[in-house]
């Protein structure tokens, strides 16, 4: 749980920082919007590709 929360916080920080960097470097928000669109599409792709492991454990008789 802590790892997921930490990754979300780091992504929030670095994503905001990178968007600001792109805005400053290009002088236009177009590159930032492109970055956000590509990140969104990558997230959708990973969601469709990565499947959770199936837990096929047999029930144990007590």
Distance separating alpha carbons of residues 24 and 26, to the nearest angstrom:
6
Q: Residue 58 has what pLDDT?
A: 72
Q: Residue 47 has what pLDDT?
A: 93
Residue written as token pair 């959770």 = 52
Q: Residue 21 has what pLDDT?
A: 96
Predicted TM-score of the model (pTM): 0.68
Question: Are the C-beta atoms of residues 46 and 30 closer than 8 Å to each other?
Answer: no
Q: Tokens representing 53?
A: 């492991």
Residues in the chain predicted with pLDDT less than 70, given as ranges, are 62
Q: Residue 56 has what pLDDT?
A: 74
Q: Residue 31 has what pLDDT?
A: 95
Question: Are the C-beta atoms of residues 19 and 35 closer than 8 Å to each other?
Answer: yes
Q: Residue 55 has what pLDDT?
A: 76
Packing angle of the helix pair 2-26, 30-49 (nearest 10 deg): 150
Based on the number of CB atoms within 10 Å of its own CB, is 62 exposed (0-12), middle (13-18) or buried (19 or more)? exposed
**Domain spans, the chain:** 12-43
């Amino acid at each position: 749980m802590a790892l997921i929360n930490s990754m979300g916080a780091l992504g929030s920080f670095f994503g905001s920082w990178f968007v600001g960097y792109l805005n400053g470097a290009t002088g236009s928000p177009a590159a930032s919007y492109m970055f956000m669109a590509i990140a969104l599409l990558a997230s959708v792709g990973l969601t469709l590709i990565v499947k959770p492991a199936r837990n096929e454990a047999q029930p144990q008789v007590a």
